[in-house]
Amino acid sequence: MKVIRISLAVLGLLLSLSNPINAAEELNTVCPISGKPVDPKITTVYEGKTYAFAMEACKTKWISARDASLYHKLGGKAAIDAAVESFYVKVLADDRIKHFFDDINMTAQRRKQKAFLSAAFGGPQPWTGKDMRKAHENLPGLNETHFNAVAENLQKTLEELKVPKDLIDQVMAIAASTKDDVLNRKPAGK
């Protein structure tokens, strides 16, 4: 009986340690607006995560930027995550481009694409992965036809999700802005 009680206590402790609700949340130490050390009393919660700032003015600026962002207009994390999931279902079924992903860990790829697009749309977290030129430099034969196929799949995904046209246009403009880097071309006019 005693052994069972001790085992349950150990199990409870392990569960509480692995439970994210009980785990102490790590606060950012650098203010995302000023780059200065944060005041841990000046915080805001966004999508369940706490962000700290150096000054009240930074917090106000950051919240306004989030509210005005394409990320927010699209529906935030849940909407972007869902869109990326269906986008890759289409990409992997598309004979024009699916071979590029043959040896790619698609769980990691989906995670990275969610993070990249979220940052590009003005989400709360910066992109910390590779720049687009580096990320695509080892894809032999990658050309404009492939880029356009990817863009087409992205557009179709958003249309199916009934995203308003003006927002789709903004997403597609951001996607197009990566074209020279993804295709490892010189930027136009340079």
Return residues touching ligand HEM (CB under 6 A).
Answer: 97, 100-101, 104, 112-113, 116, 129-130, 135-136, 138-139, 142, 146-147, 150, 175, 178, 182
Burial 123-153 (b: 16+ CB within 10 A, else e): bbbeeeeeebeeebeeeeebeeebbebbbeb
Q: Residue 142 Cβ, how far from ligand HEM at the closest point, in Å? A: 6
Least CB distance to ligand HEM at residue 90 (A): 12
- Regarding beta strands 49-53 and 39-46, do their DSSP bridges make them parallel or antiparallel, or are they unpaired? antiparallel
The label of the residue with tokens 């695509």 reads 136
Q: What gap in Å lies between CA 39 and CA 81, rounded to an integer?
A: 31
CB 53 within 8 A of CB 32: yes
Q: How far is the CB of 50 from ligand HEM (least distance, A)?
A: 26
Choose between 21 and 108: whose C-beta lies nearer to ligand HEM.
108
Separation between Cα atoms, residue 149 and residue 146, nearest integer Å: 5
Q: Min. distance of Cβ 27 from ligand HEM in angstroms? A: 25
Residue 6 or residue 176: which is nearer to ligand HEM going by CB? 176
Hey, what amino acid is at 13? Answer: L
Q: How far is 73 from 67, CA to CA, in rounded Å?
A: 8
Nearest residue to ligand HEM, scored by beta-carbon proximity: 129
Comparing CB distances to ligand HEM, the nearer of 47 and 152 is: 152
Nearer to ligand HEM, 54 or 182 (CB): 182
